[in-house]
Amino acid sequence: DQVASALEIWEVPPRALTVEVTENAFAEDAPAIADALRTLHGMGVGVAIDDFGTGYSSLSYLKKFDVDYLKIDQSFICNLSTDSADLMLCGAMIEMAHKLGIEVVAEGVETRDQSDLLIGIGCDFVQGYWFGRPMAPAAFEDFMRERGRDKAQI
């Protein structure tokens, strides 16, 4: 109800919002989380599992819940190299997610090499300091404008 109210007040389309839930949240109260996620997903709000690969969740959560995004935890990204076990694990997570119709976000990308490796193995989205530090809304608008995107595209 709070999310629906906020979307209405701020005139934000539900598809513009994604709710992130950590793996550990599923272990704490799976039935309540499942109900909330089903409701949000039914409204058109995206659902992401954050910190994937680090918690207590079961892979069965990926098929039980309407998940749109799986976010690979930065602990798999920080030591990424062409012959690392982390790259193999990231590749396996990406392939598994894609087979389930789930898009993948890699968090904590801090170098071009990490970004290139992840994109090379099919990661849908990468985020991290390589692209920009957290910033205030006005600074973000300037950042995007400098890259040729106006406020309507943000």
Q: Which residues of 107-121 are buried (b: 16+ CB within 10 A; e: fewer)?
A: bbbeeeebbebbeeb
Q: What would the pLDDT profile of 84-136 be if each residue is shown by its tens digit?
A: 999 999 999 999 999 999 999 999 999 999 999 999 999 999 999 998 888 99
Better-scored residue on pLDDT, 77 or 22: 77
Determine contact, residues 62/104, Cβ cutoff 8 Å.
no
What does residue 136 show for φ and ψ, rounded to 5 degrees? -70, 155
pLDDT band at 30 (very low <50, low <70, confident <90, very high): confident
Q: Give the DSSP letter of residue 125.
A: E
Q: Is the dihedral of CA 45, 62, 99, 69 positive or negative?
A: positive
* pTM over 0.85, yes/no: no
Q: What would the pLDDT profile of 45-94 be if each residue is shown by its tens digit?
A: 999 988 887 766 567 777 777 889 999 999 999 999 998 999 999 999 99
Determine contact, residues 63/97, Cβ cutoff 8 Å.
no
**Nearest one of 37, 58, 56 to 47, comparing CA atoms:** 37
Better-scored residue on pLDDT, 28 or 101: 101
